[in-house]
Structure formats: structure tokens, C-alpha cells
Amino acid sequence: MTIKAAAHIAGAYEHPGRELPGTSLPQIHAEVALGALADAGLRLSDVDAYFCAGDAPGFGAISMAEYLGLSLRYLDSTESGGSSYLMHLGHAAAAIAAGKCHVALITLAGKPRSGGAPPGGSMGDPRAPEHAFETPFGAPTVAQYALAAQRHMHEFGTTSRQLAEIKVAASTHAKHNPNAFLPREVTVEEVVASPMISDPLHRLDCCVVTDGGGALVVVSPEVARDLDRVTVKLLGHGEAPKYPAGGRVDLTYTGAVWSGPAAFEEAGLQPADIDYASIYDSFTITVLQCLEDLGFCEKGQGGPFVAEGSLRAPYGRLPFNTDGGGLCNNHPGNRGGMTKVIEAVRQLRGEAIPAVQVPDCEFALAHGSGGSLGTRMGSATVILGRADT
């Protein structure tokens, strides 16, 4: 069985808010659910499957299902940090392909900006077996990613200026986005001159911290046919954990080395076929390593690849994160996977901001790395196609 073309994304919605002190967490989940359903032309009563991750308050998926008043026959609360929503997409498509459900709703919400929720979320569980061997050493999230960046620089000669180009490319996109948290274009010089947070990562190598959320509605081809809205086909999905493996941690690659090839194989496509890529950008190094691992360039060549301007829309070799990404636009709940899918859907519908719309965008990839490049992560890749492909 395959999910190829067995499910469509019919609704996608990104909350316009970036700081929401007057809105509760369940309320944001509800607002994005209604937004995505309205986008699809569906109602809450049409939903028969619900997917959420560790950001959803309460008892797995059940508390939010109750809050929303959903009647369900399929639930999934897979938690892999910021990549959860890409896993949910694959799981929803598989459930639809198996006939278990027809209309799946996926929601994300978070309030780290106004609510003070720490980054990392469920990674901080003191019952985790690794907890005692990592938490005493004062290694915040940025330090863990910095460990990966430092090793990548050592092995491949990657430079801070190359990493900075990733932020610069995102900022050239964000300047067109009226909702972007950082709407100003920055230069390589500004990035490398910004304060060092954890060597070799500067402040501008980091993503933004925002409140907000997003939601997706995934439907069967039969449901899609009856909607007035342009839908996007799911063509392939792959997911994998990567972890230090009994002390054999290798910081130079991510779980995308497994999730990427699985997604491409299912879709029957190659990296060269991809017109647009949403790549989770918790930090600049996250993008660089995932570009290599997904096969857009050779291992170790991510630095030269991005320095050529490859990521810049609309005419770079691989336009990425055209909404400004987590680096400049939005990183709701410290979880970037949802907004990655939403911008890929915009591109395939031809509804991205005109200045960054990729011409004739036929195939898009969205990739998430949840957790930490420096320790353990959940990687997930989806490949999407325009409805007429």
C-alpha cells in the first residue's frame, strides 16, 4: 500500500498572530482548526480524524477533541517536537488510504512568546533515561545545535558566512510578508556581527520565538473532488528517529538521511524534481545539514550550495521557506513543521506572496527536524504535488 495520491490537503491555515497574550492555548487550537476548515470549505462536523502533538493541552488528543466537539473514529497524538505535524500528515494519509477516516484535522498552537513556555517541550521529561546524563551540563537548545555546527565546520570547512546566507535568504522572503515577525532584510555582515549566543551560532542564526499556530485538513480523493477549493496531493512521506545510539553520536547528519529517501521513493521523484522546499529552520545549521541529507547537494557541500544564492525565491536553484520561515516569519510554539507544510501548500496552489511565488510550481517538499541536532530528533519528510500532477 502507498499513500501516493491517496490523500489531499484541502485546507491550510496559519494564525496571523505572533504574540497572543489574550488568547488561551486551546483557543488558538480552535481558531486554527476553524481557519483550516473554512479554507477547505468544510465544517467541524465533517471531521472524523484528529491529530495533535505535545503542544495540545490535556489528555492526548482527547481533551482538544472534546473542546472542539469532534466526533471521531481515528486519533493520533504522535509527538516528535516540531516535526510532529509532518508525521501526522503521513499517518493521516495512511489512515485515509486504509479507509479508516475521510477528513483529518491536524492542529498546532503555542505561546512561548507571551506564556514563557520553555523551548524543548517534552524533551525535558525528567523520567527520560538520558535525562541524568545531559541536563546537568547547562546545554540549552542553541548549544546543542552549536555542537552540530562546530563539528560540521571542522569536518567540511563550513563557515559562519555560509550559515548566515541562510538567514539572509529567509529575510529576503520575509520582507514581503506583512505578518512576518522579522520583516527586515539582513546582510551576511549583520548576521555574523550579531551577538554570539553559543559558538559558532549568533543571535541571527536562531529562529524567532512566537505565539500562534496552524492547522491542516487532509481529505480522501472522493471528498476532495466535491470541494470548490484547489487541493494539494500527498505523494510521499518518510519519517525516522535519530539518536546518539549508545554513545555513537555523529553530529554531521540528521534523520533526513532516512526520511528523505523514503519520501522520494514513495513519490517516485528525485531531489532535482522539487520546485520548492520548506525546510525546518530552527537554526541556520538545521537547514544546511538537511539540504545535504535530503540529497539537494553532496554531504559537506551545503555551505557552497547556499552561498550561491540557491535558496532565494523565485529564481534560485531551490527556493526555500518563502514565508520567511522560522528564522524570520513565525515559529509558533517553538515547533516549525506545521508552517513548513502550510507554505508548501501556498506555493503549489499558486497563492504564495507574488514576489516569492515560484513559477509553475509543480512539486514541493516539506521537511521537519523535531528535537535537537545535538542529541536526538524526529525527522519527517513529505512530498506534495499540485492537484493536476
With respect to other proteins, which residue has the nearer C-beta, 22 or 136?
A: 136
Stretch that binds other proteins, among 90-98, 221-229, 248-256, 334-342 (CB under 8 A): 248-256
Please say whether the beta carbons of 162 and 153 come within 8 A: no
Q: Residue 69 burial by CB count (10 A; 0-12/13-18/19+): exposed, middle or buried?
A: exposed
Is position 1 an interface residue for other proteins (rule: CB under 8 A)? no
| CA-wise closest residue to 302 among 156, 110, 195, 89 | 156
The partner residues of 12 in beta bridges, in order of sequence, read: 216
- Among residues 66, 130, 222, 351, which is the contact residue for other proteins, using CB under 8 A? 130
- Among residues 44, 139, 188, 387, which is the contact residue for other proteins, using CB under 8 A? 139
Is position 116 an interface residue for other proteins (rule: CB under 8 A)? no
With respect to other proteins, which residue has the nearer C-beta, 153 or 269?
A: 153
Q: For 87, phi and psi rounded to 5 degrees?
A: -65, -45
292 backbone φψ class: left, alpha, beta (φ>0; ψ -120 to 50): alpha
Per residue, the 3-state secondary structure of 234-285, as one string, reads EEEEEEEEECCCCCCCCCCCCCHHHHHHHHHHHHCCCHHHCCEEEECCCEHH
- Among residues 9, 147, 256, 297, which is the contact residue for other proteins, using CB under 8 A? 147
Q: For 31, phi and psi rounded to 5 degrees?
A: -65, -40
How big is the CA angle at 153 (ends 149 and 157), to the nearest 5 degrees?
A: 155
Please say whether the beta carbons of 26 and 67 come within 8 A: yes
With respect to other proteins, which residue has the nearer C-beta, 1 or 132?
A: 132
Using CB under 8 A, which residues numbered 201 to 220 contact other proteins?
201
- b/e per residue, 200-223, with b = 16+ CB within 10 A? bbbebbbbbbbbbbbbbbbbbeeb
With respect to other proteins, which residue has the nearer C-beta, 73 or 154?
A: 154
Is position 300 an interface residue for other proteins (rule: CB under 8 A)? no
Stretch that binds other proteins, among 87-95, 98-106, 130-138, 305-313 (CB under 8 A): 130-138
Is position 268 an interface residue for other proteins (rule: CB under 8 A)? no
Q: Helices 141-156 and 284-293, interaxial angle, to 10°?
A: 50
**Min separation Cβ 194 and other proteins, Å:** 12
- Among residues 148, 204, 348, 361, which is the contact residue for other proteins, using CB under 8 A? 148
- Among residues 99, 129, 178, 354, which is the contact residue for other proteins, using CB under 8 A? 129
**Min separation Cβ 243 and other proteins, Å:** 9
- DSSP class of 352: S
Stretch that binds other proteins, among 139-147, 222-230, 280-288, 378-386 (CB under 8 A): 139-147
With respect to other proteins, which residue has the nearer C-beta, 125 or 189?
A: 125
Is position 359 an interface residue for other proteins (rule: CB under 8 A)? no
Note the residues at the interface with other proteins (CB under 8 A). Answer: 126, 129-140, 143, 146-148, 150-151, 154, 195-201, 244-249, 251, 375
